[in-house]
Chains A and B, each alone.
Chain A
Amino acid sequence: MSRVEQRLTSRDALEQAIRTAASRRDPKKRTISTCGGTGCLACEATDVITAFRDELEKQGLTAEVEFRSTGCHGFCEKGPIVVVDPEETCYLQVTPKDVPEIVSQTIRAGKVIDRLLYVDPLTGAKSVRESDIPFYKNQKRIVFGPNRKIDPQRIEDYLAIGGYRALAKALFDLSPDEIVAEVKASKLRGRGGAGFPTGVKWEFTQKAPGDTKYLVVNCDEGDPGAYMDRSLMEGNPHSVIEGVLIGAVAVGSHEGYVYVRQEYPLAVKNLGIAIEQAEELGLLGKDILGSGFEFHLKVHRGAGAFVCGEETALLMSLEGRPGEPRPRPPYPAVRGLWGKPTNINNVETWANVPLIINEGSAAFASIGTETSKGTKIFSLVGKIANTGLVEVPMGIPLRDVIFKIGGGIPGGRKFKAMQTGGPSGGCLPEALLDLPVGFDELTKVGSMMGSGGMIVMDDATCMVDVARYFVDFLTEESCGKCVPCREGLRQMHRILTRITQGKGRQDDLAALEQLSETAVEASLCALGKTAPNPFLSTLRYFRDEYEAHINEKRCPALSCKALISYYIDPARCRACMICLKKCPTQAIDGGKKRIHVIDQAKCTNCGTCLEVCPAKFDAVRKLSGVPVPPPPPDDQRTIAGKANEP
């Protein structure tokens, strides 16, 4: 693939480069796109990519077939993913062994390989095309969709889909005020968590006095279970850069920083390549597209601190200091990085900007609810059949996300709760599943949008333990500056741990509520202010579970280790000796043809017996809140006939 090498010195030159890049993409040409996002790479997509390159070479197809290693396609559950265009044939869970067959069958002979297709777990129906798979069919992928069409390490690919056209529009057609007005009219709200109107934020920075202003991309995605920002940065870094450039024109900034976690090496790498290529083409640096406008973008790697996602902490970290938040006001828009007006937006927010400028604010605002416009990318994870990244229009009911796109709960279990908004969010019960997705809608019921993590929990998940988990996380991540957060969370964690261990006291819930109130009222930054949310929301919707733990010393989800016992059902045990051999504490008594019994005094509740008990016997049970039945008398422990067989 020949590269666009010349510096683009005018809008015409950009248009020419876009036309050239697009014309090199014959829509009828066979194209293989393999997902090279971090999720798929963890399932050995690298080997699949190498296998394709080798096989195409071997079969002499490198000229006829376009091969592309792209960013994340979103359907992580079924990775590595391979899509063959123009037919859009979608193969899932591809291994290097499948590659020769794909090349000779699908590429050469035009045949579909049945066993690599998506199979609907309910109906058994197969989907050939990517867009027919229910996971994709019910999404609206306007921000995340281009990921599949571009190799993030080739700027030509971004140009081929009309990239940097919005920047040209911002530079040559619109005044800074018009850009701000357009973003305001789109009603775009920050995708990082707080949901502040982006256009208004830009206006503050634009109006702030001073010549030096900074822009910052917040890619310090710290919420566990959320990776949409990483996947955007890995898969389509130019869309973020273009968004920042448009923002720079609007607010009059000439220098920006991308704050990206060092835990995201591929995002750091692809972003670095993208910046370099944009600089080569004159899309970053001095005299961008011959307009005289200058903007420089630098990468700053975060060193691992959740609190740095908070904007004032992030700025401290950018200055090379510990990431401790400071009081606002003054807001960063007035006094930010090195005391200068600074505008910080999240990765996904920036990636939405070119879309708004290209399509117009009206088109953008036509999607969504009254107060939440556009789409949102969520990472749908946990106890869900189709784990992955999903982009949906605001206003879609949560139920559709979980069941239509997510495919429901695996393993025949029941839905219990959905946790949204990261550690500071809340857990929503089934009764709220018809709620439309939106900033205010989620806040109203005690959760929040956050950066877009959606963690699905089934009936085997204990809600008290979930609250304890999040409070534990936030206790660790508290920077320690304010007392209600540093000390209050620690006490909350102690009490919640006590409850999950069956040592809860009657006044514990009142104490937790009081500590929550103090943290909400008196903490400086959003981390402390929202830290009690996981507790408050689980208490609001799952109070019965707290009460069962405290009053009955029972864990309804059979999850809290201190409150459960393992028990072998003598009627089902076939004395196969597997659990007996695997038990790490030799707590199982039994033998050949002799029904196994767990010695409760020796058992550490590690759960190995349950895990290894063959499904056809299914003899190990978890009990909570009831006494373990006594073992059968010795004379009834011998199994007549052949052991091992039910």
Chain B
Amino acid sequence: MDTQAIARIIDKYHGEPSSLIQVLLEIQADCHWLPGEALELVAERLRVPMSRIRHIATFYKAFSLVPKGRHEVHVCMGTACHVRGAPRILERLTDLTGLQPGETDLELKVTLETVNCLGCCALGPVMVVNGKTHGKLSPAAAADVMKTYE
């Protein structure tokens, strides 16, 4: 991400220090993570200390301080999915990818994440890969879905 794009985001919020979270959310949406240089620029332009930016970036789950993989996998661990067998789906995926939730493989292919509810409980257990919802999963079906992503 170039500095101009970040500057544009900051300008959109009139450089208000209270818009810190909104600015970081937009950077995260564009880059899929928060690169260090971007944070330095935000600190300077919003006049917010780096300590607070890092506090925010680690407090809220939407932010990542490391790059994400090309395919983002979100396994729903909401209550409805839990009682319908979500833990077994996750277990199969961690076996398959060798990743723990929150981790990305070295080739930056896959990031495995858990979410607390995707709000489409009728489809549970559910996972979302790159924005596409896969519902009524069994562990085997989840593994099959993963095989379709290269």
Contact = CB atoms under 8 A, between A and B. Distances in A.
B121 A76 contact: yes
A584 interface: yes
A562 to B, nearest CB: 12
Given A303-B60, A323-B59, A611 B140 contact: yes
Contact of A39 (B52, B88, B92, B122): B122
B108 interface: no
A225 B48 CA distance: 36
B61 A382 contact: no
B140 A608 contact: yes
Contacts of A263: 62, 115
A323 to B, nearest CB: 7
A77 B77 CA distance: 19
B122 A473 contact: no
Given A303-B61, A304-B62, A383-B84, A79 B25 contact: no
Given A320-B20, A607-B139, A224 B80 contact: yes
B140 A321 contact: no
Interface in B7-24: 16-22, 24
A423 B20 CA distance: 29
A596 B103 CA distance: 38
Given A42-B123, A388-B122, A381 B80 contact: yes
Contacts of B78: 224-225
A419 interface: yes
A466 B63 contact: no
Of B16, B24, B88, B122, the most chain A CB neighbours within 10 A belong to: B122
Contacts of B77: 224
B67 interface: no
B17 A303 contact: no
26 contacts: A38-B120, A39-B119, A39-B121, A39-B122, A39-B123, A42-B133, A76-B120, A222-B116, A223-B117, A224-B82, A224-B117, A227-B117, A227-B119, A262-B25, A300-B21, A302-B60, A303-B25, A306-B116, A321-B56, A323-B60, A381-B80, A383-B83, A387-B80, A387-B122, A466-B82, A469-B79
Given A39-B120, A606-B92, A301 B25 contact: yes
B26 to A, nearest CB: 9
A582 B92 CA distance: 13
B22 A224 contact: no
Interface string B27-44: 000000000000000000
B22 A300 contact: yes
B100 interface: no
A381 B139 contact: no
Interface in A290-334: 300-306, 317-323
Interface in A337-374: none
Interface in A582-628: 582, 584, 606-608, 611-612
A73 to B, nearest CB: 12
A582 B17 CA distance: 56
Contacts of A301: 21-22, 25
- Top 4 closest A-B pairs, CB basis? A224-B78, A227-B119, A303-B60, A304-B61
Contacts of A186: none
Contact of A606 (B21, B115, B139): B139
Contacts of B25: 262, 301, 303
Given A320-B21, A584-B95, A303 B83 contact: no
Contacts of B121: 39, 76, 225, 227, 379, 381-382, 387
Interface residues on A, range: 35 or more
Contact of B52 (A76, A321, A455): A321
A395 interface: no
A213 interface: no
Contacts of A323: 59-60
A322 B59 contact: yes
A467 to B, nearest CB: 12
Given A303-B61, A322-B56, A388-B122, A612 B140 contact: yes
Contact of A455 (B83, B92, B116, B119): B83
B55 interface: yes
A486 interface: no
Given A320-B16, A320-B21, A387-B121, 10 more contacts: A224-B77, A224-B79, A303-B60, A320-B17, A320-B19, A322-B60, A382-B83, A455-B83, A582-B140, A608-B140
Interface string A469-481: 1100100000100
B69 interface: no
Interface in A202-244: 222-227, 230
Interface string B113-130: 001111111111010000
Contacts of A264: 119
B79 A381 contact: yes
Contacts of B140: 582, 608, 611-612
A299 to B, nearest CB: 9
A607 B21 CA distance: 43
Contacts of B95: 584
A53 to B, nearest CB: 22
A10 B115 CA distance: 47
Interface string A397-411: 000000000000000
Interface string B44-77: 0000100010011001111100000000000001
Nearest to A584: B95
B91 interface: yes
B16 to A, nearest CB: 8
Nearest to A76: B122
Contacts of B48: 320
A383 B79 CA distance: 11
Of A263, A303, A383, the most chain B CB neighbours within 10 A belong to: A303
Contacts of A461: 83
A633 to B, nearest CB: 32
A42 B21 CA distance: 28
A585 B20 CA distance: 49
A226 B139 contact: no
A453 interface: yes
Of B61, B79, B92, B115, the most chain A CB neighbours within 10 A belong to: B79
A383 B124 CA distance: 10
A235 B22 CA distance: 24
Interface string A420-438: 0001000000000000000
Nearest to A455: B79
Contacts of B61: 303-305
A79 B133 CA distance: 14
Of A304, A305, A306, A317, the most chain B CB neighbours within 10 A belong to: A304
A303 B63 contact: yes
A194 interface: no
A565 B86 CA distance: 19
